Structure 1
Amino acid sequence: MYRVVAVVLLGCVCLSAGLATGTTAEAEPAIVGLYPNPAADGDEGEFVTLSVPPSTNLSEYRLADEQRSVRLESPSTAESGSVVTFSTDPQRTATLVDQPVSAIADGIRLANGGERVRLIHNGSVVDAVTYGRAPEGETYDASSDSWKPLGNTQRPVISDAGGTVEAFVLPDEPDRAVAFLENASERILLAGYTVTSERVVEALVAAHKRGVEVDVLAEGSPVGGLTEDGAAAFDALADAGISVRVFAGEPARYRYHHAKYAVVDGRALVTTENWKPAGTGGRDSRGWAVITRQRDIVAGLVETFRADAGWVDTKRWEVVDKDTVSDDEPSPPDFPRNFEAAQLPVNRTRLLVAPDNAEQSLVRAIDAAEESLDIKQVRISDRAVPLLRATLRAATRGVRVRILLSGAWYVESENRQMKRWLEEQASAGDLPLSVRIATPEGRFGKIHAKGLIVDGQQTFVGSVNWGNNSLRNNREVGLLLDGAAVGEYFGTVFESDWRREDSQLPVGYVAACLVAAVTALAVGKRIEFEG
């Protein structure tokens, strides 16, 4: 389990010229966090968070900024290792943090532009922290000299070893996601960016009527606005008695809730696609998806869902302002079903979430590549994206790199510019790197997958786009899967899309995968957690 807290690092405050400076004695309290610029009128709810040694009488201490000094009127003692927050609006702050909250008796105003804050005991400064300009709605972590959105999680990578997963792609398996929901007997937790599919709504309502616990979490303000179909879907779910929460409150932890996954009983589905006809419904996008019953991956997704749904920036759909925009989805063509779902053995699966750990984990995976990188993306937002820089480093090492980008009208121009620039880099450095713009030729509508295959052995499937906003500001979810069978499955699909030709899975491939899966289960399962 993990908890959403305002400040989680309580180590020593590092000495650093011009940054945060700590002067604490071993037995003295320390300033570990500041919230100078709340997302509220008049900056109501500013706070300072202290770590407090055992048997500390906090009423002997004063807190000072560059204008005034105030006595800390809090409980006189604190338990060992405790964290205490002092706020100008304790009632409001208590809804945002887990630790005890006390009022600052005479008030203190933290400068949005930055200043020095001191903790004073018997006339002596026992700790001091200097911070720079404060972004709205973010807390300052004195240990790392960094700003983080208030309420953000500090999610570790969770790893589960052994077992099997079911892999499938879209639009080839248009019924698979709905069938997954229809098989629920106990619970459904559905998280998405957009939810507009009538089939998905019908499956959720039917599950609710037969006694399944159903909860839905989605973005309240997607790019371009909430569509009429999206509002109608939420209305239908809420009217049926299903809990629907959307990200529509302040302060906001994420730019967008862009994750796309569902937990059904003891299994989980993670996909690159939205819960809409063009996505999981198989009526447009090329997408990737994985279903797993690996226990700790499922538990990690449940914890992520509960933490995201349970904070103040989510609201019940019934109380949200419902401004909508018109839908504009043309009638889709029928697409061939060249690739069927397959049960595949895996060596290890890792649950990655952004902004907590996905960037670092994916950069490490790319940096470890020895032979090949196959990348499938809607777009690459700019040249400085860390994942692209790591990819160029890999190409410099001699790793063969192939990047397949979407040819959809809304990204084609910038993707062609990126293609030209990457080809210039490849030519100048004699790098084994090639880029193509996808030409679906009737096999799918557009590339929407966010996929990565490393050395044919490691595959990432999830919602992460190759852009800093996705990596650092959005809530994203994905699975990093180790195993040649998964790499071969998605690699075959990649090869087909890359070569602009139909390519079905080899005869007997699925049967062979089933035999390998049974063998993997017989060997047993080893579970581990990563920090």
Structure 2
Amino acid sequence: MKWVLITFLLLTHCISPVSAFVLTEFCPDGYASGDGDEYFILEGTGSLTGWTVTDGEGTVSFPAGSISNGEIIVARSAEAYNSIHGTFPDYEILESGTTPNVLQSGRFQMANTGDELALLSNGEIISTVSWPDELAASNGRVHVCTNGVWDERIYKIGQSRFSPETFTADSATLFVSPDSSYDVVTNVIRESTDTLLISMYEFTHPELAREIISAVDRGVSVTILLEGGPVGGMSDEQKGVMNYLMEHGVSVITIESEGNLPARYRYLHAKYMVADNYVTVVLSENFKPSGIPLPGTKGNRGWGAAVYDAEIAEYFTDVFTADVLGYDIYVYVPWTEPLPASWSDEKISPYFTTLTLYNVNITPVISPDTSSLVPDLVRSAGTSIDLQQAYISPYPDGENTWLAAVIDAADRGAEVRVMLDGMYYNTEDEADNNELAATLNRYGPTISAKLILPGEYLTKLHNKGVIVDGEYVLISSINWNYNSPNNNREAGLIIQSIEAAEYYTAVFAYDWDGDFDKDPVSAGIGFDVRFILAGGILILLMGILIYRRR
């Protein structure tokens, strides 16, 4: 019986008995015409003699004398694979004349929606994998075996695979919008002497554009990577800013879908900048007047940090480089819109200055690669969670697993405070921030929620921040929906520092207890007719939350 169990585990996982090769990756449904870019990868070293892969209808083997030095990529068509991946495979099934052919018996071609692969050594089955029984199938989906398990995360063709790393930064300057973000961001730009790499979802800020051109005039090389298809399309203001930047020598490129070829990420939603291979600015806000408001003016609530450390800068430079080398990168084509006029909101008295820390532990968070670090952080909570989010929305299957982790922490006794944005577009539907906040307030004594509405100090809540146990702080661009951690390119930092947690807890408390407007219903006091309209949704949400408690 023991050997039967061991055999079952070997066949249903991507591990194998002591052998030279393991099937570690495959993509049955590629983007090229006729799925010519479908492929599989074997990892191992040594002779390939006697090794075969079959889908039950055809079998591929390797020419006599074939040797692997670590990894073997076999594609259906070498030319098609190269057109998508930018490199040629080691072997191909069809004959193009550019790459050695495998030997084929029968007809080997992986079916898109359902098939099975088996790896054999001298006729003995080493491992098998099937879809859709074991793995979900979709266009562009890459199945990867990590630590003996298939599909620990969702991979799409061309996406990066960065691993978690923690660094001890030389220093980090913490800031918040609207109070102190402009001074920090412009200071980094003004002090740059060599290079600026900027990855941004939206860039409409004319004053930051002028600061960048001043850097170009000093000889700084500037490259900007933008989302080419933001929600609602690229605004005239952004077109004007990009035209101005390109006219003055800035390299502007976009990541976007083209025809039937989807981009690697649903959206490039990251917001970071790397200066001179040493300074990395990561923030929740776009380069917009409301996100980085002029000093002393009203704007969004957001968090950010300027980190001074060569290793962290190298990490984010590697992310930037991986993104700009993809198949979905295009040189921005200028339009005719002019640079928008300088603009600022109402005057305010900034309350929070910056805080600089030294020798602080920082872990970059990159979506979708390492976004699982966020729910892991929440699950580690023992005493408290402060969560400030623009919005939290259900997943397609109904349960937001990140929110579920927060509720589990409350069940364990952690004191949880959730603050959400109260703008109309986050409250006008039947299952939006207001319904969620009201539901959380009725959930139990250790969790409470509020909405922030526009007021004299803040335009809106755009933050995506978390504070855990008074020691860990997440600064990021990651929204709490399904796409952001799983399909978008996002960027963030987890800072381990009691001083950092105290700084952002003070900001959170100011927002929580401040005298600017809050929605009284979501705060748990008062009554609103929206609850009548959304009664069915509330009952459903309460049912989900009660089920979670079980």
TM-score (norm. length: structure 2): 0.79
Indicate the residue corresponding to 2:484 in structure 1.
470
Residue 144 of structure 2 aligns with an amino acid whose one-letter code is D
Does 2:100 align with 1:92?
Answer: no
Give yes or no for the alignment of 1:144 onto 2:149: yes
Aligned partner of residue 67 in structure 2, secondary structure: coil
Q: Does the Cα contact within 8 Å between 1:188 and 1:264 map onto a contact in 2? A: yes
> C-alpha distance in 2, partners of 1:198/1:281?
11
Q: Which structure 1 residue ranges, 5 or more long, are not aligned? A: 1-13, 503-531
Q: CA deviation at 1:330?
A: 9.5
In 2, the alpha carbon distance for the partners of 1:444 and 1:477 equals 24
Tell me how far 1:357 sits from its aligned partner. Answer: 1.6
Q: Which shows bigger deviation, 125-134 or 48-57?
A: 125-134
Q: Distance in 1 between matches of 2:245 and 2:344?
A: 25
1:343 matched to 2:361? The reply is: no
Alignment match of 1:104 (pick from 81, 84, 93): 93
Name the structure 1 match of 2:470: 456
1:67 and 2:82 equivalent?
A: no
| Residue 206 to residue 257, structure 1, CA distance change in 2 (3 Å) | same
Please tell me the residue identity of whatever aligns with 1:420: A
Aligned residues of 2:289 and 2:344 also touching (Cα < 8 A)? no
Query: Which position in structure 1 is the counterpart of 2:292?
Result: 280
Count of matched residue positions in the alignment of Structure 1 and Structure 2: 475
2-side partners of 1:491 and 1:40: how far apart?
A: 50
- Residue 415 (1) aligns with residue 425 (2): no
Amino acid at match of 2:232: G
User: Is 2:219 the partner of 1:211?
Assistant: yes
In structure 2, do the counterparts of structure 1 residues 292 and 121 end up closer, same or farther at CA, with 3 Å as the change threshold? closer
Deviations 1:273-318 (A, max 9, x none): 0011111235521111111103322221111111122121222224
CA contact (8 A) 1:285 1:444 kept: yes
From 245, 249, 259, the equivalent of 1:241 is 249
Aligned to 1:374: 386
The equivalent of 2:536 in structure 1 is none
Question: Who is 1:510 aligned against?
Answer: none
Q: Decide whether the 8 Å contact of 1:345 with 1:485 is kept in 2.
A: no
> Quick one: which of 18, 27, 30 aligns to 1:35?
27
The CA deviation string for residues 508-531 of structure 1, in whole angstroms up to 9 with x for no partner, is xxxxxxxxxxxxxxxxxxxxxxxx
Determine if the alignment matches structure 1 residue 434 to structure 2 residue 448.
yes
The one-letter code sitting in structure 2 at the alignment partner of 1:433 is I
Match in the other structure for 1:78: 67
Whole-angstrom distance in 1 between the partners of 2:328 and 2:440: 39
Higher mean displacement: 372-381 or 97-106: 97-106
Offset at residue 362 of structure 1 (A): 2.1
**Residues 205-252 of structure 1, C-alpha deviations (whole Å, 9 max, x = no match):** 332232212111121111121112222323333333322221114453
The answer for the alignment partner of 2:375 in structure 1 is 363
Post-superposition offset of 1:188: 0.5
Pairing 1:301–2:285 present: no
- What are the Cα deviations for residues 163-220 of structure 1, in whole angstroms up to 9, with x where unaligned? 4321111112234322321221011011111111112222223322322121111211
Asked if structure 2 preserves the Cα contact closer than 8 Å seen for 1:97 and 1:151, the reply is no
SS in 2 for 1:257: coil
Match of 1:170 among 156, 169, 177: 177
Structure 1 residue 368: deviation in Å?
Answer: 2.5
Query: What is the CA–CA distance in structure 2 between the aligned matches of 1:157 and 1:184, rounded to whole Å?
Result: 28
1:390 to 402, 405, 423: 405
Counterpart of 2:149 in structure 1: which amino acid? S
Is the Cα–Cα contact under 8 Å of residues 304 and 475 in structure 2 kept in the other structure?
yes
In the TM superposition, residue 411 of structure 1 has moved relative to its aligned partner by 0.3
**Contact 2:419/2:451 (8 A) holds in 1:** yes
- Aligned counterpart, 2:330: 315
The CA distance in 2 between the partners of 1:450 and 1:259, in whole Å, is 12
Using the TM superposition, give the Cα deviation of residue 61 of structure 1 relative to its aligned residue in structure 2, in angstroms: 5.1
CA distance in 2, matches of 1:126, 1:399: 47
270-279 or 288-297, which deviates more: 288-297
Shift of 1:119: 4.3
Alpha-carbon contact 2:28-2:112 (below 8 Å) kept: yes
Determine helix, strand or coil for the equivalent of 1:172. coil
Moved more, 280-289 or 298-307: 280-289
Q: Which has the higher contact order (CA 8 A, sep 6+)?
A: 1
Q: Is the 8 A contact 2:14 2:149 kept in 1?
A: no
Question: Contact 2:79/2:88 (CA < 8 Å) preserved in 1?
Answer: no
SS of equivalent residue, structure 1 residue 33: strand
Aligned equivalents of 2:264, 2:434: Cα separation in 1: 33
Quote how far apart the aligned CAs of 1:437 are.
Answer: 0.6
Which letter maps to 1:77? S
- Aligned partner of 1:261 among 272, 294, 303: 272
1:380-421 C-alpha deviation (Å, 9 max, x unpaired) = 112732222121122122221111111111102411110122
Higher alpha-carbon deviation: 297-306 or 175-184: 175-184
* Preserved CA contact (<8 Å) 1:68 1:108: yes
Tell me how far apart the structure 2 counterparts of residues 56 and 41 of structure 1 sit (CA, whole Å). Answer: 30
Q: Distance in 2 between matches of 1:127 and 1:36?
A: 17
Q: Does the 8 A contact of 1:119 with 1:125 survive in 2?
A: yes
Alignment of 1:501-516 (within 5 A): 501=515
| Superposition pairs of residues 187-198 of structure 1, within 5 angstroms | 187-198=195-206
| Root-mean-square deviation (Å) | 3.0
Give the Å deviation of 1:21.
5.7
Supply the AA of the counterpart residue of 1:276.
K
Amino acid aligned to 2:131: Y
SS in 2 for 1:348: strand
Q: What's the counterpart of residue 489 of structure 1? A: 503
Q: Judge which range, 14-23 or 183-192, deviates more.
A: 14-23
Residue type of the partner of 1:277? P
Q: How far off is 1:100 after superposition?
A: 4.0
Q: 1:472 to 1:484 in 2, by over 3 A?
A: same
Q: Aligned equivalents of 1:341 and 1:301: distance in 2?
A: 23
The answer (yes or no) to whether the contact 1:218–1:245 under 8 Å persists in 2 is yes
Q: 1:236 & 1:108 partners in 2: Cα distance?
A: 53
2:56 partner amino acid: E
Provide the C-alpha distance between the structure 2 equivalents of 1:92 and 1:292, rounded to a whole number of angstroms.
42
d(CA) in 2 for partners of 1:336, 1:454: 29
SS of the counterpart of 1:269?
strand
> Please, what TM-score do these two structures have when normalized by structure 1?
0.82
Q: Is the 8 A contact 2:10 2:127 kept in 1?
A: no
Cα shift readout 1:436-469 (whole Å, capped 9, x = no counterpart): 0113430111000111112222211111112222
Secondary structure at the counterpart of residue 458 of structure 2: coil
Q: Is the 8 A contact 1:15 1:22 kept in 2?
A: no
Moved more, 400-409 or 38-47: 38-47
Could you say what secondary structure the match of 2:378 adopts? helix
Aligned to 1:56: 48
Distance, in Å, in 2 between the alignment partners of 1:496 and 1:163 is 29
Amino acid at match of 1:85: I
Instruction: Indicate how the Cα distance of structure 1 residues 217 and 469 shifts in structure 2: closer, same or farther if over 3 A, else same.
Output: same
**Contact 1:226/1:323, CA 8 A, preserved across alignment:** no
CA contact (8 A) 2:25 2:42 kept: yes
Q: Kindly indicate whether residue 137 of structure 2 is the aligned counterpart of residue 134 of structure 1.
A: yes
1:520 maps to which residue? none
Q: d(CA) in 2 for partners of 1:409 and 1:20?
A: 49
